[in-house]
Amino acid sequence: MNIGKAVVFVLLALFLVGALPLFISLEHSESAQRKGFSIEDRLIPLEEILGGGPPRDGIPSIDSPKFILAAEADWLFPDSRIIGLDIEGDIRVYPLAILNWHEIVNDTVGGVPVSITFCPLCGTGMAFRRDFDGAFTTLGVSGLLYNSDLLLYDRKSKSLWSQVMGQAVSGPRKGERLVPEPIEHTTWADWKKLHPQTKILSRDTGFRRDYGRSPYGDYDQNGDIYFPLSFRSSQYHPKERVIGIEINENFKAYPFVELFQQKSPLEDVLGGKQIILEFNLETRNGVIRDAKGNVLPSINAFWFA
């Protein structure tokens, strides 16, 4: 086994045993950052595209998800964090306990092909459509990061997509935008109360992982950020939870530490549109609706992200 293959094997082994956060490799050479992707023509600086450790698909997406009923999910606790999705009455739950290990679930919900994505380093859960111009594809974990955030790739064009930006940053689809689907980043108890008939992603994923623990330890609570950032604000704790939204290229963040001074719902105007933020201070969850009550795509993230 040559040195390069040995390094990849060690990094992947560390991830599988949950020790990867203790051995993050900041790969700065151009060849290390590529991981098989063409990134000569890109929207973001080459030096800010970092290797996250595992190779492409070293963190495997779930492409054939199985689901169970709420009564069967006895391994979920009331305060377990989940991503909830409702498309045309097809209601599903994706526990972070599973997403921490896989980061992407390629699914079809309410007849809509979607990818549920989660970046443990940024605390960001987002769902996107995975059909382009009538052609279906799946999203995978590239093994690359931008500002500590997961760079997705679509397996059809091999383009790289920034999860938080929702935009292709290199490849044939460079500059294109992913179409988001509204999700809720909340607790199992809150979601189950509203959606008792929900289906839950099964731990029968086809992979051997210890879904009873996080491979990132107490990362959500401490102040550590493993990778360099192009910009960092000290206005709030880096892991302070915020609800972020974009309307007509206008961006706004609602930190929960500030929402403690407000009452839910909170009415606001962004991009010329009236919006209503409903939030739960205890669970650090919130949804944003338009004036007609429709849920708008938003993101629940760490402040630094």
- Quick one: pLDDT at residue 39? 81
pLDDT of 30 > 50? The answer is no
Q: Is the pLDDT of residue 11 over 90?
A: no
pLDDT at 290: 95
| More confidently predicted of 196 and 12 | 196
Structural domain boundaries in the chain = 3-231, 239-305
Query: Is residue 188 within 8 Å of residue 76, measured between CB atoms?
Result: yes
Q: Residue 278: its pLDDT value, please?
A: 96
Average pLDDT over residues 195-207: 97
The residues facing 150 across adjacent strands are 145
Is it the case that residue 296 has pLDDT exceeding 80?
A: yes
Q: What is the pLDDT of residues 208-234, one digit of tens each?
A: 999 999 999 999 888 889 998 988 888
Mean pLDDT of 193-204: 96
> What pLDDT score was predicted for residue 242?
96
- pLDDT of 19 strictly over 60: no
Determine the average pLDDT of the residues in 198-212.
Answer: 96
Which of 1-10, 118-127, 246-255 is predicted least confidently? 1-10
E strands in 52-130: 67-69, 81-87, 90-95, 104-109, 112-119, 124-129
Q: What is the pLDDT of residue 33?
A: 42
More confident residue, 290 or 23: 290
The answer on pLDDT for 279 being more than 70 is yes
SS3 38: coil
DSSP letter, residue 297: P
- The confidence score (pLDDT) of residue 232 equals 87
Instruction: Using a pLDDT cut of 70, give the percent of the chain over it.
Output: 89
Does the predicted model carry a pTM greater than 0.85? yes
pLDDT digits (tens, 9 = 90+) for 95-153: 999 999 999 999 999 999 999 999 999 999 999 999 988 889 999 999 999 999 999 99
The whole-number average pLDDT for the span 54-78 is 96
R_g of the chain, CA atoms, integer Å = 19
pLDDT at 160 exceeding the cut of 80? yes
**Phi, psi (deg, nearest 5) at residue 104:** -140, 135
Question: Which pLDDT score is estimated for 213?
Answer: 92
- pLDDT category of residue 180 using cuts at 50, 70 and 90: very high
Whole-angstrom CA distances from 240 to 57, 77, 99, 237, 300 are: 30, 23, 20, 5, 10
Name the average pLDDT for the chain.
88
Residue 34 pLDDT grade (very low, low, confident, very high; cuts 50, 70, 90): low
pLDDT band at 1 (very low <50, low <70, confident <90, very high): very low
Tokens coding 50 = 């970092």
The residue written with tokens 């020790």 in the block is: 19
| Per-residue pLDDT at 16 | 47
User: Rounded to 10 degrees, what is the CA torsion of 235, 237, 240, 243?
Assistant: 20
Query: What's residue 222's pLDDT?
Result: 87
| Comparison of pLDDT for 192 and 19, the residue scoring more | 192
